[in-house]
Amino acid sequence: MEFEKIKTEQQLIDRMSHCAKCLDLKFHCEPGKKAIAVCGGTGCLASDSMGILEKFQELIKEHGLEDKVTVNIVGCFGFCSQGPFVKVYPEETLYTKVKTKDVEEIFNTDILKNEVVTRLLFVDPQTKEHVQKQHDIAFYKLQKRDIALHGNGEINPEDLSEALGYGAFKGLVRALHMTRKEVINEVLQAGLRGRGGAGFPTGKKWSFVPDTDEPKYIICNGDEGDPGAFMDRSIIEGNPCAVIEGMMIAGYAIGAENGYFYVRAEYPTAVARLRKAIKELEDVGLLGDNILGTGFNFRCHVRLGAGAFVCGEETALINSIEGKRGMPRPRPPFPAVKGLWGHPSCVNNVETLACVPYILREGWEKFAAIGTADTKGTKVFALGGKVNNVGLVEVPMGTTLRQLIYDIGGGIPGNKKFKAIQTGGPSGGCLTEKDLDTPIDFGSLVAAGSMMGSGGAIVMDEDNCMVDVAKFYMTFICDESCGKCSPCRIGTKRCLDILTKICDGKGTPEDLEELRELSSFIRSNSLCALGQTATNPIESTMKSFADEYEAHVVDHKCPAHVCKNLMEYYIVPDKCAGCTLCSRNCPVNAIHVTDDPAKLPNRFIHHINQNLCIKCGSCLAGCRFGAIIKR
Amino acid sequence: MAKLQPGAVKQITEICNRYKNEPTPTMMILEDIQNEFGYIPLEVQELVSELTGIPVSEIYGVVTFYSFFSMTPKGKYVIGVCLGTACYVKGSQLVLDKFSEILGIKPGETTADGLFTLDVLRCIGACAIAPAVSINGKVYPQLKVDNVKNVIEEYVAKEA
């Protein structure tokens, strides 16, 4: 869209109020008009939400309704397991799991006749009732999605006017009327702590940057490497302007004129939207020289990661921007003193920067009123794994894990038993049943033996083996250790060797002792946070699931029946119908018929030859009589 | 050492020129070359070094450090099995094993006919549709072990 330049604050305010009116018209619609929003988050894009969008566009054109019906994409709705979403305004009807072939029905029924397509509404698993509106769905009820996820699922992330209509840059305008020190104080008073994992007070981090004349840099850490975490990606995809505004405020506060976004190359959609937003802001003059006539100059640059987890560590990230191997540097000197190209730099996480505009726009009091004594504001979690409602949630600090898993997450699928929730990714730990009523904040999660981390929250049930989970994280860390310091490079490899030995059924109780010793050595001797926290998954599972480790090394059994060498498939004679299906499915001919009569007449019980069995599980998957078990 | 084709030299020169004004362009140049050619062999690294003045040792160091860069050509179809935590707890290791078994290659390798490369991905953020597999950017949601064969056949059929 062509934009006139915005050169003064008044021009910006005029533009904002114009855009706000347009956006209001989209949400509330004049009589006879409708607006359709299709989810354009990565999860829904994978389920062909672009196809849905195109189909709507086609139908609107076919019916000549271009003046009455609009359709565009919006950022992530967060309830990813129910996607793709289509939301129809002004009724705010939310359709879930929409397929391209459903579009015609929505169009003919809802758009043309103003009737709801009931079969595409969300069904509450408890009440079995259809829920028409988003805010009536249990998943959304305990959430507070207007700080870090501000605008997500509401505005079109590729349209600057929608962002302007939704309050973007109001925070910046206020900041530009304050001194740098006042901005830092505002953020300090709000109690904002870094959302990347460590929870360091953001205002304090900014205040460490010296007030000198040399070039300074603000860097946004979007190298979201924790497997199972997608908060930063969704925030950038859903409302890139919010992150840019946060970066500009931070840049103003520390006296930086250049900001660098470091985003994973694995996030093509986020990168494209970020670049588009930056381009549009440059075109209207909100990025560049003398912004709003205040004399504040600021430019944004995008740099891509290249698939190295360690680059999430701030000094490694700086090395990577400098075109070097992404290896951490010893600190001090801290980046605030000597960072990018040797100049003072400040590295903030995406979610942290996304919270900043809210604080400046609404005032620190409002932000500080949310949360616990330890941590203010909200936290975005990527809730995943064995939980019914997989998705992106934003909750006030102080929400309990139980609320997160059961009220918002909808509990564990298939009536399985909850076993653990893993927070903090490869640097974090597992929390169990006894920790479920812990209110979430930085301090409480550490006290419970895990950490907040960047926001990945993976739920595990009785079918997950915790030794195997520890091994999984160790495999990841071994791959991603940069190799600079030997405790991490060699130590994590040794840990993985031991864990592999245990999972293969060759472990001994002495191995557990060695694991403990190694873990504490790696923790105290590694150079950067990656190594220092690398063994958290081992230590926390050894503490909470000591019995599982013992079962592996003493009885040589895997209680969750995951470790292949420690379990077997077994046909329960009483249940076997002798249908021969398992025997036919077996890829290695390990299942044979015995002489004992089975349930069905003229059929015989089957038996698995354990020496031949490769434990592929195809017999169990196929059995219609529930006769095959793991033991 | 194989000689680069004039067209390739021209393209690489153009990529290097693109970032002439950047203080530290190594990553950006290599990312573009990786995207354009699919791999960054030694002779290309030498050329980049010549054009930019960055020591080839440094370029080699960067290429070998980041998993996004490859020194060998990838297959026509790059199969990425997500082994992020959410996918892993939902059995993506078994999906990876199945691909490996049917294609007869280990993760990181390419089939002899140059058709498929099997890669491990560390979370593509599609956790709601775990286990997820991405083939040349197309994401297959909730891929079951039993469907792996069909997916491979879909691509083999395209080639036939």
Domain ranges of chain A: 32-135, 160-368, 378-461, 466-555, 568-630
Q: Does pLDDT of A405 surpass 70?
A: yes
Contact B121/A at CB under 8 A: yes
Instruction: Kindly indicate the confidence band of residue B124, based on its pLDDT and cuts at 50, 70 and 90.
Output: confident
**Which residues of chain B neighbour A233 with C-beta distances below 8 Å?**
125
Are B29 and B52 in contact by the 8 Å Cβ rule? The answer is yes
Q: Does pLDDT of A2 surpass 60?
A: no
Q: Does pLDDT of A147 surpass 80?
A: yes
Across A74-78, A340-344, A591-595, A615-619, least confident range? A615-619
**Which residues of chain B neighbour A450 with C-beta distances below 8 Å?**
none
Q: Does pLDDT of A413 surpass 60?
A: yes
Q: What is the pLDDT of residues A510-538, one digit of tens each?
A: 999 999 999 999 999 999 999 999 999 99
Contact A325/B at CB under 8 A: yes
Contact B56/A at CB under 8 A: no
Across A39-53, A242-256, A397-411, least confident range? A39-53
Q: Which 3 state secondary structure label does DSSP give A182?
A: helix
Instruction: Kindly indicate the confidence band of residue B137, based on its pLDDT and cuts at 50, 70 and 90.
Output: confident
**Which residues of chain A neighbour B149 with C-beta distances below 8 Å?**
none
Q: What single-letter DSSP state applies at residue B78?
A: E
Per the prediction, chain B carries an average pLDDT of 91
pTM of the model: 0.91
Contact B129/A at CB under 8 A: yes
Contact B78/A at CB under 8 A: no
**Which residues of chain A neighbour B124 with C-beta distances below 8 Å?**
42, 266
**Which residues of chain A neighbour B28 with C-beta distances below 8 Å?**
303-304
Per the prediction, chain A carries an average pLDDT of 93
- Note if the bond before A426 is cis, omega within 30 degrees: no
Long-range (24+ apart) CB contacts under 8 A made by B101-110 are B102/B148, B102/B149, B102/B152, B103/B152, B107/B81, B110/B72, B110/B73, B110/B74, B110/B75
Are A340 and A357 in contact by the 8 Å Cβ rule? The answer is no
Contact A303/B at CB under 8 A: yes
CATH class of A32-135: alpha beta
Instruction: Kindly indicate the confidence band of residue A444, based on its pLDDT and cuts at 50, 70 and 90.
Output: very high
Contact A243/B at CB under 8 A: no
Instruction: Kindly indicate the confidence band of residue A618, based on its pLDDT and cuts at 50, 70 and 90.
Output: confident
Q: Does pLDDT of B71 surpass 60?
A: yes
- For range A127-134, the mean pLDDT: 93
Across A186-190, A264-268, A396-400, least confident range? A264-268
Are A364 and A190 in contact by the 8 Å Cβ rule? The answer is yes
The number of helices, as runs of H, and strands, as runs of E, in chain B is 7, 4
Nearest CA distance, A12 vs chain B (angstrom)? 32
Long-range (24+ apart) CB contacts under 8 A made by B6-9 are B8/B37, B8/B44, B9/B47
Instruction: Kindly indicate the confidence band of residue A248, based on its pLDDT and cuts at 50, 70 and 90.
Output: very high
Instruction: Kindly indicate the confidence band of residue A3, based on its pLDDT and cuts at 50, 70 and 90.
Output: low
Q: Does pLDDT of B1 surpass 60?
A: no
- For range A336-354, the mean pLDDT: 96
Contact A323 B121 (CB under 8 A): no
Tell me which H or E stretch contains A46.
helix A42-46
Q: Does pLDDT of B3 surpass 90?
A: no
pLDDT of residue A265: 86
- For range B47-56, the mean pLDDT: 96
pLDDT of residue A616: 81
Contact B89/A at CB under 8 A: yes
Are A558 and A467 in contact by the 8 Å Cβ rule? The answer is yes
Instruction: Kindly indicate the confidence band of residue A617, based on its pLDDT and cuts at 50, 70 and 90.
Output: confident
CATH number of the domain located at residue range(s) A568-630 in this protein: 3.30.70.20
Contact A227 B122 (CB under 8 A): yes
Q: What is the pLDDT of residues A281-330, one digit of tens each?
A: 999 999 999 999 999 999 999 999 998 899 999 999 999 999 999 999 99
Are A340 and A322 in contact by the 8 Å Cβ rule? The answer is yes
- Which is nearest to A122 in space by CA: A89, A84, A163? A84
Q: What is the pLDDT of residues A177-200, one digit of tens each?
A: 999 999 999 999 999 999 988 899
Contact B65/A at CB under 8 A: yes
CATH class of A160-368: alpha beta
- For range A395-417, the mean pLDDT: 94
pLDDT of residue B2: 61
Cα–Cα distances in angstroms (integers) from residue A60 to residues A54, A65, B156, in the given order: 10, 5, 38
Long-range (24+ apart) CB contacts under 8 A made by A164-167 are A164/A15, A164/A16, A164/A19, A164/A20, A165/A16, A165/A18, A165/A19, A165/A20, A165/A21, A165/A22, A165/A23, A165/A24, A166/A20, A166/A23, A167/A16, A167/A357, A167/A361
> In this predicted model, which residue has the larger pLDDT, A352 or B74?
A352
**Which residues of chain B neighbour A325 with C-beta distances below 8 Å?**
61-62, 65
Contact A42 B130 (CB under 8 A): no
Q: Which of residues 539-558 of A touch B (CB under 8 A)?
A: none
Instruction: Report the alpha-carbon distance of residue B26 to residue A88 in Å, rounded.
Output: 47
Nearest CA distance, A436 vs chain B (angstrom)? 20
Q: Does pLDDT of B92 surpass 80?
A: yes
Please count the residue pairs, one from chain A and one from chain B, whose beta carbons lie less than 8 angstroms apart.
139
Q: Return the structure tokens found at A138.
A: 């249990």
pLDDT of residue A320: 96
Percentage of chain A beyond pLDDT 70 is 100
**Which residues of chain A neighbour B125 with C-beta distances below 8 Å?**
42-43, 224, 229-230, 233-234, 266-267, 382
Nearest CA distance, A361 vs chain B (angstrom)? 30
Q: Does pLDDT of A37 surpass 70?
A: yes
Percentage of chain A beyond pLDDT 90 is 85
- For range A106-132, the mean pLDDT: 93
CATH class of A466-555: mainly alpha
> In this predicted model, which residue has the larger pLDDT, A132 or A621?
A132
Nearest CA distance, A269 vs chain B (angstrom)? 11
Q: Does pLDDT of A605 surpass 60?
A: yes
Nearest CA distance, A397 vs chain B (angstrom)? 23
Q: Does pLDDT of A1 surpass 70?
A: no
Tell me which H or E stretch contains B140.
strand B138-140
Nearest CA distance, B157 vs chain A (angstrom)? 23
Q: Cα torsion at A118, A91, A139, A380 (round to 10°)?
A: 140
Buried b / exposed e over A128-143, threshold 16 CB at 10 Å, is eeebbebeebbbbeeb
Pick the CATH number of A378-461 from 3.30.70.1560, 3.10.20.600, 3.30.565.10, 3.40.640.10: 3.10.20.600
Nearest CA distance, B13 vs chain A (angstrom)? 18
Contact B124/A at CB under 8 A: yes
